[in-house]
Amino acid sequence: MTVLATIDWVVIALYFAIILGIAWWVIRQKNDTSDDYFLAGRNLGWFVIGASIFASNIGSEHLVGLAGSGATDGVAMAHYELHAWCLLVLGWVLAPFYMRSKIFTMPEFLEKRFSSTSRWVLSVISLVAYILTKIAVGIFAGGVVFGVLLPELNFMGLDSFWVGSILVVVLTGIYTILGGLRAVAYTEAIQTIILIFGSVMVTIYGLDALGGWGELKRVAGSEMFNLWKPLVPAGIEGTWAPVKSDTQMAWYFNSNYPWLGMLFCAPIIGLWYWCTDQYIVQRMLGAPNLTEARRGTIAAAFFKLLPVFIFIIPGIICYALAASGKMPEIAKALLDENGQIINANAQQVFPLLVAKVLPAGIRGIVVAGLLAALMSSLAGVFNACSTLFTMDLYPKFRQVVSEKELVRTGRIATAVMVVIGLLWIPVIQGSRGLYDYLQSVQGYLAPPIFVVFFFGIFNKRMNAKGAMAALLVGFALGLFRLAIDTPVMLNEGYSYTEGSFFWIINNIFFQYYSLLIFIISALVMVTVSYSSEPPALEKIQGLTFGAVSDEQKAETRATYRTVDIVLSVLLVGLIVAAYLYFQG
């Protein structure tokens, strides 16, 4: 039975009218050059940058995956959200290099720092990563939301899951293809406001239905509010004690989020994502100057703290409503006959709350927020894909390309990525969980990119040969693990022979395997770089700390503002406070 009332449909229609109206206004602006289409004319203000970064990030993996992880593991996954400090690294440390180089894409920065080959390789890696994660996961989550809220929707033999997936893609693709980054950024600013308001309503009404914060902690238990305990196996005393077990080699098997992996691997993935990924950094590149760019990253960092309270906490609330017996319909959807949560059904947590807890009218606002997050995330990755392909790969095949041809090529590239993403959905449907899938694939692909960017910027001795070797070796190791994992994800009953080489690789914590890729990539880059000729100083001028002139340093210091420093310190204080509070 459809859970949306007439007033809900009116609110949703109003949301689409606002978004499409803004998109139409933006599309009518000048979009005939690559600078206009891909970087919004480099004229985005700090709030639009911050809201756009947040809206692009807050997509399916949060609405569906992160809320689901809240129901199954409590606040354990808040570690990833508390990596908001990574955005400060982007704004204060890396932004001067990016803005100074006047780049369109992150691979283009690698070309300036290392070589044109490294630019091409990173573009390919990034496009593969977007297909495996952001595009397919975003489409899949749209289907999950529609499947819960409109279960009876059917069109030409397609159920609500597929109708929802395709509908979200088409609507988002229209304004993204036509309007470029400017349309994406301005619609995302509005979508951020709707998303935050709607998600706050879910938390408020959910707590009210349960009986308040105290009742939530009583029903869910202190374990659900401990950032560290869920990551430590039962029987291990002390949060930071070594993880060990009587089972041979169990210290690195059979759990998804060990504390050692979270401590060392999660920051690597976080810094890669927030500081080097085209999907995020492209918004900052649209700023008119370094001050606005930095301020936009600070704003995004504050926004980034919100998912702990508007996605993870609602996930815990949903579990508590089911476990307490106060919402039998939710319990029936989430729990087995023993009262244990069914992990495969946890992806329905957030839309279930929307359907069962919220009153008519408010439900429409929250559904609009759900659609806003799904659409903004997809719009961001569509635009990033088209920018990467058009600016980094297409010129390899056509040496002389007009501005008009670049824009047209970007639009075609977006459509192709959407089709590929649709084809990858069955793989995600077989995975252990949306958030697990996303984090594991990112863990396989992120380390070599992190190594190349950070080692390249912090050490002027790193050269093009070292960068290429690190990218190729690291990417090969990541694809190897993904190839081994895929049959297990596709076939629920499939497994390798216990104790075999493939079984060992498949069962290692993905964080530990990610750390292995990082270590090998780092060793390869350092070894190859120091065993070959150093890069020419004039080539890397202004692109690495060891080659920044006094004049360039002075220009960067001139952009420092007291209010930005104070807000950055406040953000770090809030992160520390969250870690202190969530200890069970």
Q: How far is residue 150 CA from its own chain's centroid?
A: 26
What is the percent of the chain where pLDDT is above 70? Answer: 79
Residue 243 structure tokens = 């993880």
Local structure of 152: helix, strand or coil: coil
What's the rounded Cα separation, in Å, for the pair 3 and 77?
A: 30
Assess whether pLDDT exceeds 60 at residue 251: no
> pLDDT band at residue 237, thresholds of 50, 70 and 90?
very low
C-alpha 44/C-alpha 34 separation (Å) is 15
pLDDT greater at residue 525 or residue 39: 525
Closest CA to 318 of 74, 1, 143: 74
Mean pLDDT for the chain?
Answer: 79
Tokens 């939301």 sit on residue: 145
For the cut 90, the answer to whether the pLDDT of residue 348 exceeds it is no
Q: Which of 125, 158, 13, 144 is nearest to 66 (CA)?
A: 144
The CA distance from 263 to 481, in Å, is 21
40 within 8 A of 180, measured Cβ to Cβ: yes
Give the Cα separation of 259 and 532 in Å (integer): 38
CB atoms within 10 A of CB 109: 25
Summarize pLDDT for 504-562 with one digit per residue, the tens.
888 787 888 899 999 999 999 999 999 999 998 888 998 999 888 889 899 999 999 99
Q: Has residue 14 got a pLDDT over 80?
A: yes
Q: 57 is written with which tokens?
A: 């990030």
- pLDDT for 511: 82
* CA 490 to mean position of chain CA atoms: 23
Q: How far is the CA of 84 from the CAs of 90, 457, 578, in angstroms? A: 10, 21, 12
Beta partners for 158?
A: 155
- In the block, tokens 């706050």 appear at 200
249: pLDDT strictly greater than 80: no
What pLDDT, in 10s, does the model give residues 325-345? 788 777 777 777 776 777 667
pLDDT at 297: 95
**Closest listed residue to residue 161, CA positions, set 413, 369, 428:** 428
* Rounded percentage of the chain residues whose pLDDT exceeds 90: 20
Structure tokens at 41: 């004319």
Task: Report the 3 state secondary structure along 94-123.
Answer: HHHHHHHHCCCCHHHHHHHHCCHHHHHHHH
Q: Where are the domains of the chain?
A: 6-581
Provide the pLDDT for residue 247: 37
Amino acid at site 289: N
Indicate the helix (H) or strand (E) that contains 161.
Answer: helix 160-210
Distance CA 265, CA 280 (A): 20
Q: Is residue 285 within 8 Å of residue 39, measured between CB atoms?
A: yes
In angstroms, how far is CA 417 from the centroid of its own chain?
17
The reported pLDDT for the residue numbered 226 is: 76
Q: Is the CB of residue 37 less than 8 Å from the CB of residue 31? A: yes
pTM score, two decimals? 0.81
Crossing angle of helices 434-458 and 116-130, in 10° steps, is 160
Which CATH fold would you assign to the domain 6-581?
Sodium/glucose cotransporter (1.20.1730)
**pLDDT mean over 8-31:** 78
pLDDT value at residue 233: 47
Which H or E element spans position 198?
helix 160-210
- Taking 80 as the threshold, does the pLDDT of residue 380 lie above it? no
